[in-house]
Amino acid sequence: MPLLRAHYTSFAVCRLPLMSNVRPHNTERSTVNIEQFMRGYKAAWEQRDESMFSALFAADGEYHNTPFAIQRGHQQLAEYWHRVKLQEDVRVSYEVLASAVTGGIAHWHVTYQVASEELFRIWAKSTGTNLVARKAGDPLPRMVLDGVLRAEFEGNSCKKCQIWWHSLPQPS
């Protein structure tokens, strides 16, 4: 994984000067930081809890799960996160790459067992890939996701979170 870490670290270093120019949407100082946010993100994912997830965000907070899909507000956030209930044995790890007063960047890694055909179809559609060749009765795969998260904070919550990620079935 050293090559990946070097790649993401370079990304973070390139982005850090831009992060220092980010201004909060109001004058309220942020009381949350990227480490606290990532701990909550990890817990919400591993516990498959949409209430925990949406509580990380401001009432009008945004989650960009891809560059082209945005969930806004607690109701949309909870509805989106509900899909993690179709995952089992979720394991999340992360490394904070950059931290600023109003935000931060982290590299994250997730594995989970696909628990339903529905989730498998959702995954295939969201990644823009074809379904993995499976025969009737074959077990559902364990998935590996790897990505980068950029968060902006305001007060005690996340105002905007963007993730860039890729996934694939875990090799046997």
Residue with the larger pLDDT of the pair 68 and 130:
68
Q: Tens digit of pLDDT for each residue in 69-85?
A: 999 999 999 999 998 99
* pTM for this entry: 0.79
Question: Does a structural domain hold residue 76?
Answer: yes
Tell whether the torsion through CA atoms of 84, 87, 88 and 90 is positive or negative: negative
pLDDT confidence band for 167 (50 / 70 / 90): confident
For 113, the domain range is 2-20+32-131+139-169
Question: Does a structural domain hold residue 25?
Answer: no
**Total domain count for the chain?**
1
pLDDT over 90 for what percent of the chain?
55
* 24 and 125 Cβ atoms separated by less than 8 Å: no
Q: What is the CATH number of the domain that holds 143?
A: 3.10.450.50
pLDDT confidence band for 152 (50 / 70 / 90): very high
- Enter the tokens of residue 24: 């909060």
Region 117-138: mean pLDDT is 66
Question: Does a structural domain hold residue 155?
Answer: yes
Question: Does a structural domain hold residue 26?
Answer: no
Question: Does a structural domain hold residue 101?
Answer: yes
- Which pLDDT belongs to residue 6? 39
pLDDT confidence band for 126 (50 / 70 / 90): low
Q: Is 159 exposed, middle or buried (0-12, 13-18, 19+ CB in 10 A)?
A: buried
Question: Does a structural domain hold residue 14?
Answer: yes
CA distance 62 to 68: 12
Least confident among 12-16, 106-110, 129-133: 12-16
- Which pLDDT belongs to residue 112? 95
